[in-house]
């Protein structure tokens, strides 16, 4: 068991030995020179060792005093440095978000600039946190797709996980109805084998089976769809930006609930932490913002006569 004798006396001795006088030590420690002298004297009594030779107008360290001060000063310097590091670290505002790679790349990162603009002093750190990843001890929060049941965590809903096929506009032009889909062109995601059967059944074509290339993540399948490899199963919010920008289109109006939602996960005590509270307010607002969703390609081509006339009259 560690025994630290009379810390005030040890501090007083180290300061006096380093500065060369009780007066200088008292000024450093904000006490009188007499108080420093008393504390050093008490320390010497407790140690049963003389640390100073008290001479007229000056202090002189004994051999034991020089050895003691030689060991104490580096210790106090290291303690001051450690305290400065800890204090500085506590001033860094860090927000660690556990999120899967596809959600991060296709929704969170493209919008993160707006949060950084609001909260430039928060150091945002995004770490791997897919569906199978446990909630990390160092996470401020997580964003996951599921049923809302995460014991010990608050699960705040963000998005519905609606499914709808997506592809390039060129490929969509050949898809007038769900029966036009071909199994080898339907891109699959390894951990979401139920997506295509769920949507195809709702579309009335349950006999079609997805047999296209299989990918480990939704993001890979959606990139393959953007490159014209086939039709991917899109899920909100992964496809929101692609649909709005026209990089991908939804050839059919049918969207089918996946039976899961996206949730913001966090520990209840974190609601009192200002950095998490700021992120929570931001992401809830961002998730509620409407996203432009173009009509299916074959429907958008069916212009009304008035719309056609207006288009012709444009300069």
Q: What pLDDT is recorded for position 138?
A: 81
For residues 234 and 248, the answer to whether their CB atoms sit within 8 Å is yes
Q: What is the pLDDT of residue 131?
A: 65
From 229, 255, 227, 230, select the one nearest 240 (Cα to Cα).
255
Q: CB-side exposure of 270: number of CA atoms within 13 Å?
A: 25
Query: What does each of the 315 residues of the chain score in pLDDT, given as a tens digit?
Result: 556 678 899 999 999 999 988 999 999 999 999 999 999 999 999 999 999 988 777 789 999 999 999 999 888 888 887 776 666 555 667 889 999 888 999 999 999 999 999 999 899 999 887 666 788 888 889 999 999 899 989 999 998 889 999 999 999 999 999 999 999 999 999 989 999 999 999 999 999 999 999 999 899 999 999 999 999 999 988 898 999 989 999 999 999 999 899 999 999 888 888 899 999 999 999 998 866 444 444 443 333 333 332 333 333
Cα–Cα distance list, 256 to 121, 129, 163, 185, 291 (Å): 40, 25, 5, 20, 18
Of 227, 233, 226, 228, the closest CA to residue 174 belongs to 228
| CB contact at 8 A, 262 and 157 | yes
Class of domain 7-90: mainly alpha
Tell which residue, 245, 244, 208, 238, has the closest CA to residue 223.
238
**Into which CATH architecture does domain 94-300 fall?**
3-Layer(aba) Sandwich (3.40)
Tell me whether domains 7-90 and 94-300 share a fold.
no
Determine phi and psi for 107, rounding to 5 degrees. -135, -55
Tell me how crowded residue 301 is: count the other CB atoms within 10 A of its CB.
Answer: 9
Give the CA count within 13 Å in the CB-facing half-sphere of 169: 12
Tally of CA atoms within 13 A in the half-sphere of 122 that contains its CB: 22
139: CB partners within 8 A, 6+ apart:
96, 97, 98, 127, 129
Q: What is the DSSP string of 194-258?
A: THHHHHHHHTT-TT----S-EESSHHHHHHHHHTTS-BEEEETTTTHHHHHHTSSB-SSS--EEE
A 10 A CB-CB count for 307 gives 10
Q: Where are the domains of the chain?
A: 7-90, 94-300
């Amino acid at each position: 068991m560690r025994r630290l004798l009379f810390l005030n006396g040890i501090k007083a001795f180290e300061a006096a030995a380093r500065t060369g006088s009780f007066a200088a030590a008292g000024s450093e420690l904000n006490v009188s020179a007499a108080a420093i002298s008393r504390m050093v004297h008490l320390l010497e009594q407790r140690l049963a060792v003389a640390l100073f030779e008290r001479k007229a107008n000056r202090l002189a360290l004994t051999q034991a005093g020089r050895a003691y001060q030689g060991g104490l000063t580096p210790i106090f310097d290291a303690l001051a440095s450690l305290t400065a590091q800890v204090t500085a670290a506590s001033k860094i505002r860090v927000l660690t978000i556990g999120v899967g790679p596809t959600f991060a790349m296709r929704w969170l990162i493209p919008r993160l600039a707006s949060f950084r603009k609001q909260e430039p002093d928060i150091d945002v750190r995004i770490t791997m946190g897919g569906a199978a990843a446990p909630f990390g001890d160092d996470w401020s929060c997580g964003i996951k797709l599921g049923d809302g049941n995460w014991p010990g965590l608050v699960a705040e809903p963000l998005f519905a996980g609606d499914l709808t096929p997506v592809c390039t506009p060129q490929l969509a032009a050949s898809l007038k109805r769900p029966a036009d889909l071909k199994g080898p062109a339907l891109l699959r995601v390894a951990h979401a084998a139920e997506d295509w059967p769920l949507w195809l059944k709702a579309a009335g074509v349950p006999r079609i089976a997805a047999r296209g290339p299989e990918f480990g993540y939704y993001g890979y399948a959606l990139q393959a769809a953007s490159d014209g490899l086939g039709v991917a199963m899109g899920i909100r919010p992964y496809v929101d930006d692609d649909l709005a920008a026209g990089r991908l289109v939804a050839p059919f109006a049918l969207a089918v609930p996946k039976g899961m939602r996206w949730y913001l996960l966090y520990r209840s005590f974190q609601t009192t932490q200002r950095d998490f509270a700021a992120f929570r307010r931001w992401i809830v607002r961002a998730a509620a913002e409407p996203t432009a969703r173009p009509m299916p390609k074959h429907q958008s081509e069916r212009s009304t006569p008035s719309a056609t006339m207006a288009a012709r009259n444009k300069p």
